[in-house]
Amino acid sequence: MRPKPVQTPRPPVLLAAYTPAGLVRAGTRADGWTPAGLDLATTAAMWPVVTGAATEAGVWGQTLRARNAPPAAFLADV
């Protein structure tokens, strides 16, 4: 493939998941979660499932990145 991607080792893989199993997959197999079309309250309720799965799998902070995650101040108030 030409041109080669700028990102290494590859472009990030983001999942738009909305089911419990999909959220776990986003946390364990993807580089990030994109909660497209969700309001902040719904996103805030689902985000702990993603981060919990990533933490349990040992990938939080290593491969999983927050993409379109709600602001930390908002999560603190939920």
In this structure, is residue 1 part of a structural domain?
A: no
Tokens of 64: 């999983």
In this structure, is residue 47 part of a structural domain?
A: yes
In this structure, is residue 3 part of a structural domain?
A: no
Position 12 confidence tier, pLDDT thresholds 50, 70, 90: confident
Confidence (pLDDT) at 22 = 96
Position 78 confidence tier, pLDDT thresholds 50, 70, 90: very low
The count of other CB atoms within 10 Å of the CB of residue 41 is 11
Residues 6+ apart with CB under 8 A from 50: 23, 24, 26, 27, 33, 64
In this structure, is residue 9 part of a structural domain?
A: no
In this structure, is residue 60 part of a structural domain?
A: yes
Confidence (pLDDT) at 24 = 95
Kindly report the pTM of this predicted structure.
Answer: 0.73
Residues 6+ apart with CB under 8 A from 38: 18, 46
pLDDT tops 50 at residue 26: yes
- Residue-wise pLDDT tens digits, 30-72: 888 888 888 888 988 999 999 999 999 888 766 666 565 555 5
